[in-house]
């Protein structure tokens, strides 16, 4: 691969990224990586609370540059917090990660993270939305009550810090869409009384929306977690589509990053809902 290959070429030719993936995955098998972890760590500023890393520099046969791995054992699967060449060029950094086991008890390491940085506007089929660049929405389509519905979901983090973004977009005639819109709003309005006081309506951090769009914000209070949710209900101008954008995040009460993370959630979730547009 020549040194002047741009990002657009990489996207069009994903096979060119194979070596990048191998550089991330295979390093944990190297004896030199174990030696690096036994050496001195340096201070770094990477996402998800990674502030120390163990440098590992390796030459590339036949090339005029070197690979730089910043290692951190807390990064799951790869152990690589950042991969770059020549000390910082073309960096690949780890962001959201965590141990998510619905059958397991809550761990006490608090090494679950959700990345809230680098918002990017993404065009999906039927809508556009701005959310952190490391979030990936997976979609599925169903048909219920005569409405054709597409649901897009991203699940992030783990058991001590987690977030979910979902966008439900339903198509139908004007009367069906109006009834669906009113039903979603009614359910959200009734939500604070549905879980014995665990859900509380917020007056702050409510998405500010235009037209007949409705915005909601909630606090979630549990014995072991605190959470926040922002919601928006939108109807297309033609009246043939209704969308429900929902973001939910929670953090373990004992997590030392709880207050800071909840503050980030409130800001990013509100801005994400406010960015929604039917297309």
Task: Give the side-chain half-sphere CA count within 13 A for 181.
Answer: 22
pLDDT digits (tens, 9 = 90+) for 160-217: 899 999 999 999 999 999 999 999 999 999 887 655 558 999 999 999 999 999 999 9
> What's the pLDDT band for 109 if we cut at 50, 70, 90?
confident
pTM of the model: 0.78
Instruction: Find the mean pLDDT for residues 101-121.
Output: 81
Domain range annotation of the chain = 7-93, 119-278
Reference 250, options 224, 217, 215, 216; nearest CA is 224
pLDDT at residue 194, rounded to an integer: 52
pLDDT at residue 105, rounded to an integer: 66
CATH number for the domain running over 119-278: 3.40.1000
Q: What are phi and psi of 211, to 5 degrees?
A: 65, -140
pLDDT digits (tens, 9 = 90+) for 29-45: 899 999 999 999 999 98
> What's the pLDDT band for 70 if we cut at 50, 70, 90?
very high
Strands 127-132 and 214-221: unpaired
**Degrees, nearest 5: CA angle 207-260-88:** 105
List b or e across 50-81, with b for residues whose CB sees 16 or more CB atoms inside 10 angstroms. beebbbbeeeeeeeeeebbbbbbeebeebbbb
- What is the percent of the chain with per-residue pLDDT over 70, rounded to a whole number? 92
């Amino acid at each position: 691969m020549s040194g002047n290959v741009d990002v657009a070429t990489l996207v069009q030719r994903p096979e060119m990224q194979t070596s990048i993936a191998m550089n991330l995955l295979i390093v944990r098998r190297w004896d030199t990586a174990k030696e690096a972890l036994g050496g001195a760590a340096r201070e770094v500023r990477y996402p998800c609370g990674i502030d120390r890393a163990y440098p590992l520099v390796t030459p590339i046969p036949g090339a005029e540059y070197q690979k730089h791995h910043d290692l951190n054992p807390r990064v799951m699967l790869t152990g690589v917090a950042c991969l770059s060449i020549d000390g910082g060029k073309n960096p690949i950094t780890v962001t959201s990660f965590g141990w998510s086991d619905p059958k397991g008890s809550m761990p006490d390491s608090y090494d679950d993270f959700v990345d809230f940085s680098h918002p990017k506007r993404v065009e999906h089929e039927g809508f556009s939305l701005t959310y952190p660049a490391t979030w990936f929405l997976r979609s599925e389509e169903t048909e219920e009550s005569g409405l054709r519905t597409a649901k897009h979901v991203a699940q992030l983090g783990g058991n001590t810090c987690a977030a979910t973004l979902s966008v439900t977009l339903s198509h139908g005639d004007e009367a069906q869409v109006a009834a669906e819109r009113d039903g979603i709003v009614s359910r959200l309005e009734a939500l604070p009384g549905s879980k014995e006081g665990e859900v509380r309506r917020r007056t702050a951090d409510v998405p500010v929306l235009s037209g007949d769009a409705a915005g909601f914000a909630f606090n979630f209070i549990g014995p072991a977690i605190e959470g926040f949710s922002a919601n928006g209900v939108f109807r297309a101008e033609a009246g043939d589509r209704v969308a429900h954008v929902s973001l939910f995040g929670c953090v373990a009460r004992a997590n030392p990053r709880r207050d800071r993370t909840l503050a980030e959630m409130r800001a990013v979730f509100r801005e994400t809902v406010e960015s929604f547009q039917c297309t």
